[in-house]
Structure 1
Amino acid sequence: MAAGDLLLRTQSGLPVLARAFPSCLCLRVPARRRRGAPPLTAAKVDVADAVGRRVRSGGAAVPKRRRSRRDAEEEEEEGLAFSRVVTGRGRGVREEGVAEGEAPEFDAAKSGDESGGVDGSYLSDTRFDQCAISPLSLKAVKDAGYERMTQVQEATLPVILQGEDVLAKAKTGTGKTVAFLLPAIELLSTLPRSPSINLLVICPTRELANQVAAEARKLLKYHRSLGVQVVIGGTKLPQEQRSMQSNPCQILVATPGRLKDHLENTPGFSNRIKGVKVLVLDEADRLLDMGFRRDIEKIIAFIPKERQTLLFSATVPEEVRQISHVAMKRGYKFINTVKEGDEETHSQVSQMYMVAPLDLHFSILYNVLKKHIAEDADYKVIVFCTTAMVTKLVAEVLSQLKLNIREIHSRKSQSARTKVSDEFRKSKGLILVSSDVSARGVDYPDVTLVIQVGLPADREQYIHRLGRTGRKGKDGLGLLLLAPWETYFLNSVQDLSVSQAVVPTIDSSIQTGVKDALGRVETKSKESAYQAWLGYYNSNKAISRDKSRLVRLAEEFSQSMGLAIPPAIPKLILRKMGLNNVPGLRSV
C-alpha cells in the first residue's frame, strides 16, 4: 500500500483499496479466483464428439464493419448500403482517469439454485434483502426467483440508488437489466401518480425492448400504480398512440426510430416525456453501431436536463465515451465489472471453428445438428446466418429435412418475430435460424449450441452471437463454419481460445437428403439468397477488392444451393452495389 491508501471492505467482505488521485477516487477490488477458459490448442477437435461430450459430461465441455444509418429497428442485413467506481472529471471520465486493477469476480463453485436460474459463477454473496429497496420491490424480486445479486448488480445497484449517473461496462447475460430497472422503480414508486413518462429505456432492437419490458413487469408486480409500455418499429403507430392515451404509463421502453416517430407525430407525447426522471441507454455501443447517435441526441434534447442517466454497454469504445459526455452529468461514475485482460467471451463456452468448401456447408450443418439432437433431448440451438434472405433459405432447407425449425430476421413482421422469440425463450427442443436481430442482448435461457455460418461482420459480432450460449454462468458450445477463403477472420479472434474442429465425414444418405431438400426449396428463395449473399460479401473490403474473385465465390454459393447458373440481378441493385458491368454477373 502506498502512502495515503485506505483499506476498506465492501458489504460482501471483499477488501477494497481506495487510492486518492488528484481528479478522481478509484476503487480497486481484487478478483476472486475463477476457472479460466481452456488455452488455445493447435490440436483439431471432432466437433460431433464435442457436441455429444457436452451432454455426457453433465454440461461441462472441455476444450468492423460499420453499418450505415437505417430506418428505426430494421437492420442493414443485405449489404446494399454501404466493482470499480471512478469519479470523472469535467464532462465525463477521461481515458487516463480509469483506474488500473481488477474488478470483482465470483466463485464459480457456488450454487445458483436460489437465483432464478443464474449460475453461481456470476453471483455475489450479497442478497437483495441486504440492499436498500422497498418491501414491495423485494417481494417482487423474490417472486421472480432472485435471492443473491449478480456481480453487475452488486457493483451498480448501491451507486444508482444514490441517484448517481452511471456508465457501466458489463458482459451480456450477467443481470444488468435488473441492475438498472430495480433502482429506477424504487425512485418512481416515491413520485405522485401522473400521466408523465418517468423512466425511459432506449434499446437497439425490438426483441431487446420486449425483453426489458417483460422484466419490468415482473418487478412491478406489487407496484400497482406503475405501468410499462413498449413502442417499437414494425407495429402500427396509431395503435400505440391509442394505447398510450387510454392507459398512460410511467415506464416506456422504446427503440430510437419509433420513439422519434412519437415525438414528431403523437399529440401531447413531447409534453409527457418532459417528466422523465431516469434515462437508460441499454446496449449503448450497439445503439451507436447501428447509427442511432443523431436520434439519441434529438431525444435527449426533448427530456429534462435534471435527470439520472444510466448507460450500460458490453464495450466502451470512443463513441460510447462521446455520447456519455452528451447524455450524462459532469462527474458521472464509471463502473467496470470486466477485469482488464479478461476474455471477452464467457469462459463456460467451448469455441470451435471448421473450414470446409461452400458446397459442404449444408451437409455439415445438418450433420452437426443431427448429432447434437441425438445427444441432448433438451437441445436449444441458434444458427446465425449472414443476411435475412440467407437466413430464410437455411431455415427452409432445414425444415425440409424435418428438423424443428423457427426463423427470425428483419424481413419478418414484428408480430411474427415476437411470437417466435417468445416461443424460443420458453421452449426446448427447438432450432432458431436467425440473422443478427438475435445476436445482441436478447436473453434466451439454456441455449446449448450456437452455430455461425459464414463470415461474421467483425470480431464484436462474433462475440455477441456466441454470447447467446453460456449465459448466466451455464455451459455452452459455439461453432464457426467458414469457407477456406474466409479463414483470415480467425486472426481477429486468435486470443479467444478457438480450437479447430475436424470436418466430419458426410455419409451419402445425408448428402442425398440435403440435395433433395434443396430441390424442394423454391427457386425464388435461392435467387433472393444469392443476391443478399453477393451484397453482404461485396460490402467486405477484404473480399470485394477483387471483383472477378467475388463473382467466382458468388458462383460457388449459387452452386451450393443446387443452381447450375447464377441468378440474374436487377440492374438497379447492381448499381447500388457498385457492380454494374462487372463481367460474370447477369442482369435483368
Structure 2
Amino acid sequence: PSIEVVIKSSAPARDQKRPPILVLVMCPTRELAVQAAAEANALLKYHPSFGVQVVIGGTRLALEQKRMQANPCQILVATPGRLKDHIENTAGFATRLMGVKVLVLDEADRLLDMGFRKDIEKIIDAVPKQRQTLLFSATVPAEVQQMCHIALKRDHEFINTVQEGSEETHSQVRQMYLAAPLDKQFSLLYALLKEHVADDINYKVIVFCTTAMVTKLVADVLGELKLNVREIHSRKSQSYRTRVSDEFRKSKGLILVTSDVSARGVDYPDVTLVIQVGLPADRQQYIHRLGRTGRKGKDGQGILLLAPWEEFFLSTVKDLPITKAPVPTVDPDTKKMVERALSRVEMKSKESAYQAWLGYYNSNKKIGSDKFRLVELANEFSRSMGLDNPPAIPKLVLGKMGLRNVPGLRSR
C-alpha cells in the first residue's frame, strides 16, 4: 500500500529542490532498515523516478545529507536515533517530513524494548496528523498498546495473523539443550560445529552470544580453530556489518557469530542450525533467535548451550518441545586444540569479554542478586578462557555495577 501511495502521487518536478518524503519507515536495527530498503527498491524497479534512501547510525551524517539532496527520496527507511538527528540538524529536513502520507513502525515491540519511545514520540510529532499509519509487532505487550494510542487513530484496525493456539516456534525446528560447566563449553561448541559441518555440506550456522564482546571472543576462538567464521555485533562499523550480512545471506558453508543485532526480522535463507550460547534475556528472545532457522517451510535445528546454574531458564520454555541433546564427545586432542586456540586469542579480547560477561549477568535479576556468587561464576568464565587470574576492571565500571569491594574481583 505504501508503494501505491508513492506511485499515485505525481513524480517530483525536476526543479523541485527538496521534494517531500511520502513514506517514512522506522526500524529498530540498521540491518533491518537496510533489508526493508532493499525490498522497497525491488518493488520500485519499474518506477525509476522514485527513490528509496536509508538513514542509520554508524554512518556519517553529512554523507547521508548529501545523498538525500542528490537522489530522489520518496521513501525513507530509518532507525529512530538517526532520524531524530536529521530532524534537528539537517536543513529543510523537517519541511520534507511534512509531506509524509504513510508512517510505518516495524517491529514496534523491539523499537520500544531498545528505549526509542521518546525519539518515536518526537518523530510522530514531526509528521502530519493526516496520514496512514501501519504498526507491525511480533508481540503486543502494554508498551506497544500505549504506542498504538499515540501513533494510530482511535478507530484503527487490529489484524492478528497468529491463529489462536498456533505454535510459537516452528514445528520443523528440532529444539535441544545442553547443560555443561563453563570450562567445557568452548570445546563442546567446537565439537557441535565440527559435527554439523561434517554432516551437511550446505551448512549455514548462526551462533548467538550474550554480548558484543563475548561475540568477538567466540568468533576469535572459532577462527583460530580454522572454521569459516564471520562476526556481527554493535562494535563493528556499519559498513562492515552490512557487508558481512549480505555475504551470509548469499552464501552457504559459513558460520555467523552474532549478538542480538541479528535476532529479529533479519531474513537469512536456509539457516541449518542456530546455537544460543549462555542465558537468553527472556523467553521471547529465545524464540526470536530460534526463528532464524526453519524459515519458509524448511527444516532447522536449534541448540541452547547453558551452564548448570542457568538451567532455571528451561522452566520459562517448558511448554516448548525442547529435549536434552546427546553430549558430543570431546577427545583429549580436541580439548588441546581448543586450549591452544584460546591461548592465541589477544588478551584485550579476553579482558573485554570478561567485563561484558560480568555486566550481562549482573543485570540478570536471578544471578545478579547474589554478588559474591556472581563473581565466582565470572571467575569460572575467566578460567574457561585459559586465564589463571581474572582481568582487572576499572574502579569506575565496578562502581556502576555495584560491585566495589566484592571479593574475587581485581580493580585498576
* Residue of structure 2 equivalent to 1:113: none
Mapping of 1:505-516 within 5 angstroms? 505-516=329-340
CA contact (8 A) 1:256 1:296 kept: yes
Q: How many angstroms apart in 1 are the aligned matches of 2:81 and 2:345?
A: 35
In terms of fraction of residues, the more helix-rich structure is 2
Runs of 4+ in 1 over 2 A off after TM superposition: none
Q: How many angstroms apart in 2 are the aligned matches of 1:552 and 1:341?
A: 42
**TM-score w.r.t. structure 2 length?**
0.97
* Residue of structure 1 equivalent to 2:9: 191
1:557 correspondence with 2:381:
yes
Shift of 1:501: 1.0
Comparing 450-459 with 189-198, which one deviates more in the overlay? Answer: 189-198
Q: How many angstroms apart in 2 are the aligned matches of 1:436 and 1:529?
A: 16
CA contact (8 A) 1:356 1:503 kept: no
* Residue of structure 2 equivalent to 1:504: 328
* Residue of structure 2 equivalent to 1:209: 33
Name the SS of the counterpart of 1:192 in structure 2. coil
1:218 correspondence with 2:45:
no
Q: How many angstroms apart in 2 are the aligned matches of 1:187 and 1:239?
A: 28
Structure 1: unaligned runs, 5 residues or longer:
1-182
Q: How many angstroms apart in 1 are the aligned matches of 2:181 and 2:88?
A: 50
* Residue of structure 2 equivalent to 1:484: 308
* Residue of structure 2 equivalent to 1:536: 360
The letter of the residue matching 1:366 is Y
Q: How many angstroms apart in 2 are the aligned matches of 1:506 and 1:523?
A: 25
CA contact (8 A) 2:98 2:127 kept: yes
Name the SS of the counterpart of 2:197 in structure 1. helix
1:468 correspondence with 2:286:
no
Q: How many angstroms apart in 2 are the aligned matches of 1:568 and 1:576?
A: 15
Cα deviations by residue, 1:59-93 (Å, 9 ceiling, x for unpaired):
xxxxxxxxxxxxxxxxxxxxxxxxxxxxxxxxxxx
* Residue of structure 1 equivalent to 2:223: 399
One of 81, 85, 88 as aligned partner of 1:264: 88
Query: How many residues end up aligned between the 2 structures?
Result: 406
Name the SS of the counterpart of 1:457 in structure 2. coil
The letter of the residue matching 2:219 is A
* Residue of structure 2 equivalent to 1:372: 196
Q: How many angstroms apart in 2 are the aligned matches of 1:440 and 1:368?
A: 24
Q: Does 1 or 2 have the higher relative contact order (CA < 8 Å, sep 6+)?
A: 1
Name the SS of the counterpart of 2:8 in structure 1. coil
**TM-score w.r.t. structure 1 length?**
0.68
CA contact (8 A) 1:231 1:240 kept: yes
* Residue of structure 2 equivalent to 1:455: 279
The letter of the residue matching 2:272 is T
The letter of the residue matching 1:415 is S
Q: How many angstroms apart in 1 are the aligned matches of 2:404 and 2:331?
A: 41
Percent of aligned positions with the same letter in both sequences?
A: 74
One of 40, 44, 63 as aligned partner of 1:239: 63
Structure 2: unaligned runs, 5 residues or longer:
13-18
CA contact (8 A) 2:191 2:329 kept: no
Name the SS of the counterpart of 1:204 in structure 2. coil
* Residue of structure 1 equivalent to 2:126: 302
Q: How many angstroms apart in 1 are the aligned matches of 2:369 and 2:186?
A: 27
CA contact (8 A) 1:207 1:438 kept: yes
* Residue of structure 2 equivalent to 1:286: 110
Q: How many angstroms apart in 1 are the aligned matches of 2:201 and 2:73?
A: 42
The letter of the residue matching 1:190 is K
Shift of 1:504: 1.9
* Residue of structure 1 equivalent to 2:408: 584
Mapping of 1:28-177 within 5 angstroms? none
Q: How many angstroms apart in 1 are the aligned matches of 2:261 and 2:373?
A: 30
Q: How many angstroms apart in 2 are the aligned matches of 1:283 and 1:350?
A: 26
Shift of 1:571: 0.3
Q: How many angstroms apart in 1 are the aligned matches of 2:21 and 2:171?
A: 40
Cα deviations by residue, 1:468-519 (Å, 9 ceiling, x for unpaired):
1111221111000000000000011111111111222211111011011001
The letter of the residue matching 1:319 is E
Name the SS of the counterpart of 2:5 in structure 1. helix
Name the SS of the counterpart of 1:512 in structure 2. helix
Name the SS of the counterpart of 2:267 in structure 1. coil
Shift of 1:193: 2.2
Select the structure of larger CA radius of gyration: 1
One of 223, 237, 247 as aligned partner of 1:423: 247
The letter of the residue matching 1:387 is T
The letter of the residue matching 2:188 is I
CA contact (8 A) 2:49 2:72 kept: no
The letter of the residue matching 1:485 is W
Cα deviations by residue, 1:503-559 (Å, 9 ceiling, x for unpaired):
222111110110110011111111111011001000011001111111110111001
Shift of 1:415: 0.7
Q: How many angstroms apart in 2 are the aligned matches of 1:469 and 1:267?
A: 43
* Residue of structure 2 equivalent to 1:254: 78
Shift of 1:188: 1.2
Name the SS of the counterpart of 2:390 in structure 1. coil
Name the SS of the counterpart of 1:189 in structure 2. helix
Shift of 1:186: 1.2
Comparing 465-474 with 560-569, which one deviates more in the overlay? Answer: 465-474
Mapping of 1:278-357 within 5 angstroms? 278-357=102-181
CA contact (8 A) 1:283 1:313 kept: yes
Q: How many angstroms apart in 2 are the aligned matches of 1:544 and 1:330?
A: 42
